[in-house]
Structure 1
Amino acid sequence: MRFPAYFPGSSRTLFAAAALALCAASSQAAEPIIIMVGGINKIIYLPAKLTEALGYFKEEGLNVELQSQPAGVDAENQLIAGAVQGVVGFYDHTIDLQSKGKEIEAIAVFCKVPGEAEIVSTKAAAAGFKSFADAKGKNYTLGVTGLGSSTDFLTRYLAERSGVPSKDYTLLPVGAGNTFIAAIKQDRIQAGMTTEPTISEVLKSGDGKVMVDLRNEKDTIAALGGIYPAASLYVQNAWADAHKAEATKLARAFARTMKWISTHSAAEIADKMPKDYYGNDKALYVQALQASLPMYTNDGRMPAGGPESVLKVLAATKPLIKGKNIDLSKTYTNAFIPGDIK
């Protein structure tokens, strides 16, 4: 690098140091971190796109690329394969994967509850399907986003808790959004678990009703026996150990977003979202977001008692987890989130 003749020696030294620091920062920022989101336009995963929109990734010196998969289980597979560095998906995958010998940990938690609901079709409800207990002996088809997904785990647990054995129903992967809505309309599923804004769209059209609500703490505790921390950013433990600086910046960026959400209205949050997230019905999107605000954490930290509650649910339906010694301390950490979030 050449310096103008009028720069004195000391100034040249300072200028060179500043230039080198800038180059080093640019080089670091250019290292992409790919985060796979299990359905990027779902309100439960809204913090991913919102963090990008607020500019927090860039402010932290990160070059984050957000990608989307329709189901969390697909995103999980990408992480295990090393194709992505992080996943925005349900915390319960960290427990499930530990039972399979994989160490994954949530480093920022967005939701205290699943933010989902079991929607029963209006037709099936009229025929007597009004609770999970009504599925006993009926061989209903129940929709989930994907087999092995969190909606799969939760559906099985709700059925078992209601005394309905797995032989009495069939799980069908139908994704979310338009594919879920089509499955309800076409009677390919009699009920299914989905998230906002799909829930509000189905209710508005009159094609379905809420059978089990997991969008707030009160109803979630009633249905599952405890809170169920869900949407989170999780990474491989080995990656976090080897990239502490990046992990800290990611966790801090998301923690700042959760604080921002806690101090802004649904309408203000919606204004930050891409138009294709709400299409021609922004009012419905704001309504769905308003109903979802209570599910979010305000600091990105794991809620006390949450991991134990999730483990209890999974152990009830998954043989690989039941009776196994799961080390919950390896499935999440609050260590990367600063005490004072600004």
Structure 2
Amino acid sequence: MQNITFNRRTFASLAALGAAAVAVPALRAQPKLEKSKIAIAVGGKAAFYYLPLTISEQLGYFKAEGLDVEISDFSGGARALQAVVGGSADVCSGAFEHTINLQSKNQFFQAFVLQGRAPQIALGISTKAMPNYKTLADLKGKKIGVSAPGSSTNMVANLVLSRAGLKASDVSYIGVGTAAGALAALRSGQIDAMSNTDPVMTMLEQKGDVKIVSDTRTLKGTLDVFGGSMPAACLYASTEFIQKNPNTCQALANAIVHGLKWLQTAGPSDIIKTVPESYLLGDRALYLASFNKVREAIALDGLVPDDGPKTALKALASFDNTVKADKIDLAKTYTNEFARRAKEKFKA
């Protein structure tokens, strides 16, 4: 009898030890990715607005998560959004408010990691085309450059103009991209004003080409324009994609939060060494001046702030009649579940 008890006990102990030995590697192993090859669409990758995406790509953080990421760059966020809605890209690196716009059209997309906590968009008046500019009302009938019609640069311009009593139809919007083409469009007189991101706006400002009349490149400026915190660049995908590929979305969030953590302590020379040379637009000093201006607008930990979606909805509904605030379920526009895990992993 004693032997049997001893054997049973020994067997139970050995079985428990065996189970523990199997469990430990399972806990440490990365969960299997449902999809390792991912297509990301972005509108204006060279802009500081998307710097966390570039950093995560250039430093190999996507690869470290087992991802093979292909990034397609479009002229503006609205074009990148079309790629994701049309199915030629899996994920969009774009403006948070697109998730609200899409829901108003009965299409459900969710942001799952934040890259920017301020839109980093400035509206500037051409000093050459409008030397006698006094108020925003002077823009009636004028041509305003934006990265692409329907993009966040367009949205910020609409919001600022609406507060001055102007409708979107009172001006003409022209897509000029977010790089050298935007500089050329303003300097050659093709447009009278421009709503765009950095480094373009700082370059124009420092050379005296524009007079800045509205600025969301800082947290204070964002508060002045929007009246609250305004989530900006993020990774978003269809709710269906996120539900089917949770481990893949976690890996993407991890890579971005890893990049955000690196950016918290990166010096100007680190940035210069990491981004592609073409991003500098031929002027290192001005590029770095721009970076210092927008640095605080970069997200810290990938989490969408609690009050942010409300601010975004209020802003959109104030000038876009197709967005009905009472019909939008903000809880469906974002999830912090992936960013929270990534924040814990990297202590961001």
TM-score normalised by the chain length of structure 2:
0.85
C-alpha distance in 1 between matches for 2:197 and 2:309: 21
Query: How many aligned residue pairs are there?
Result: 317
C-alpha distance in 2 between matches for 1:309 and 1:341: 29
CA offsets 1:122-172 (integer angstroms, 9 cap, x no match): 124521x2442443xx41221222222112222111111122234432222
Identify if the C-alpha distance between structure 1 residues 181 and 174 changes in structure 2 by more than 3 Å, giving closer, same or farther. same
Aligned position for 2:82: 77
Which ranges of structure 2 fall in alignment gaps of 5 or more residues?
1-25
Find the residue that maps to 1:181 and give its secondary structure: helix
Aligned position for 1:122: 127
**Post-superposition offset of 1:270:** 2.5
Higher percent of residues as helix? 2
Aligned position for 1:113: 118
CA offsets 1:104-129 (integer angstroms, 9 cap, x no match): 111111111111100110124521x2
Find the residue that maps to 1:247 and give its secondary structure: helix
Find the residue that maps to 2:344 and give its secondary structure: coil
Identify if the C-alpha distance between structure 1 residues 206 and 62 changes in structure 2 by more than 3 Å, giving closer, same or farther. same
Identify if the C-alpha distance between structure 1 residues 54 and 121 changes in structure 2 by more than 3 Å, giving closer, same or farther. same
Aligned position for 1:132: 136
Find the residue that maps to 1:300 and give its secondary structure: coil
**Post-superposition offset of 1:209:** 2.2
Selected match of 2:107 from 55, 80, 102: 102
Selected match of 1:329 from 328, 331, 339: 331
RMSD of the TM alignment (CA)? 2.2
Selected match of 2:271 from 265, 269, 274: 269
Mapping 1:8-23, distance limit 5 Å: none
Q: Which one-letter code corresponds to 1:322 in the other structure?
A: K
CA offsets 1:247-274 (integer angstroms, 9 cap, x no match): 0111111111111111222332222111
Give the stretch that moved more between structures: 58-67 or 279-288: 279-288
Q: Which one-letter code corresponds to 1:280 in the other structure?
A: G
Aligned position for 2:229: 227
Selected match of 2:47 from 39, 42, 45: 42
Is 2:92 aligned against 1:87?
A: yes
Aligned position for 1:11: none
**Post-superposition offset of 1:58:** 1.2
C-alpha distance in 2 between matches for 1:278 and 1:164: 35
Aligned position for 2:344: 340
C-alpha distance in 2 between matches for 1:50 and 1:313: 30
TM-score normalised by the chain length of structure 1:
0.87
Which ranges of structure 1 fall in alignment gaps of 5 or more residues?
1-20
Aligned position for 2:19: none
